[in-house]
Amino acid sequence: MTMDTKMGNKYAVSSDERAEDCYYIFTEDFKHALGWMFVQKYFMKNQRAAVKEVTTITNYIINAVRKLLQDNKWLGETSKRKSLEKIQQLVKIIGFNAKTMTAQNVNEFFQGMRITANNFFRNIIQIKSKSLKLSLTELREKPNRKGDDGDGIFSVNAWYDSEMNSITIPAGILRNPFFNIRSPMSLNFGGLGTILGHELMHAFDNDGTLYNAQGEYSPWLTTSAKASFERLSKELINQYSHFKIPGTSLHINGQLTLDENIADNGGIHVAYNAFLKWKSSQNVHYMLPGLPLSSDQLFFLTFAQNWCAHFSTIALRNQLRHDPHAPDMARVLLTLRNSKEFAAAYRCQSGSYMNPARKYQVW
């Protein structure tokens, strides 16, 4: 038996696993070309209108975060000033950077490489080598806060970066079911807006409070503010840790999921307040035909729809053990149980399951 055969028998992976590995390697290392191709095929037609509307949603949510911080009772003046500086200097990256995401820049990145269809390993080595050289040239430069490298353009995701104090909303998520330029804004705020609210609140979770407005490591909570933050966090940890996943005997690790739970609860709050502010400026409020729900109810329904999913018990156990996110059903149920605005919109009876007397939030 040859060495190749022995190694293959011992370390072989299924074709499905190999295909998945190749996919992730390919989408990471060819992100410049794939990002440009995605934008050209799926985003350019409605790009200007989509970016304009998403910018509007984002700005309303940023203003809602600003008001949340201004009205906060436990931050104190010093911490409040630092928190407001973060939201004031936040960098927004929406869709893609049109100045750098061009065919010319993509071609320049691959210049000098010999990319072929039958040598995957050599292709990757060439790209890794080029990426390393580019990284080394940037060592003495200021950090890039504009998202110029094509990273994640086609990702169905959004993210906040503490070290850049930036929020990225890539082109990939600006589609159904999260956003549609023809949908009522109740759906766009409830879908994409709650995700943006979630990401913005990461600027003020355990990690976010360690970085200042320029993305530098500089913890800005005073001793008093930190004590209040930790007290409220412990209450949220306790609530999530005592929640039993419906249909199982499984519980959430409230400590492991704390930062994501802070972002979920604060995010829906600022997104809803942003929606109310936007709605107050409009004369017409569109409803969905055949669905007797108010725009406020549609907002919360769309938020819940974001997290529709089905898990096997094995997958659920694995997630509870390792994932910093709570299971999807908990992200819906606990976030809405903590929302007095949800209870008002759906007229939930006081003391009922979805409207408990005690509600928990850090922000």
> How much is the average pLDDT of 74-92?
98
Between strands 166-170 and 159-161, the pairing is antiparallel
Condensed to tens digits (0 to 9), the pLDDT of residues 262-288 reads: 999 999 999 999 999 999 999 777 778
Residue 166 to residue 282: CA distance in whole angstroms: 29
With a cut of 80, say whether residue 15 has pLDDT above it: no
Condensed to tens digits (0 to 9), the pLDDT of residues 144-198 reads: 666 655 567 888 999 999 999 999 999 999 999 999 999 999 999 999 999 999 9
In terms of Cβ atoms closer than 10 Å to its own Cβ (0-12, 13-18, 19+), residue 95 is: buried
Domains recognised in the chain with CATH numbers: 15-45+101-144 (no CATH), 47-99+146-345 (3.40.390.10)
Q: Which of 237, 286, 285 is nearest to 262 (CA)?
A: 237
Contact 199, 267 (CB under 8 A): yes
Contact 43, 153 (CB under 8 A): no
Cα three-residue angle 13-127-34, rounded to 5 degrees: 80
Q: Which residues are catalytic?
A: 199, 264
Q: So what's the pLDDT on residue 3?
A: 46
Residue 358 to residue 302: CA distance in whole angstroms: 25
Give the residue ranges of DSSP H helices in the chain.
3-11, 15-29, 31-38, 47-71, 76-88, 103-110, 120-137, 185-188, 194-201, 223-241, 258-280, 295-305, 313-322, 328-337, 340-345
In terms of Cβ atoms closer than 10 Å to its own Cβ (0-12, 13-18, 19+), residue 10 is: exposed
The values of phi and psi at residue 206, to 5°, are -60, -40
Whether the pTM exceeds 0.95: the reply is: no
> How much is the average pLDDT of 90-119?
86
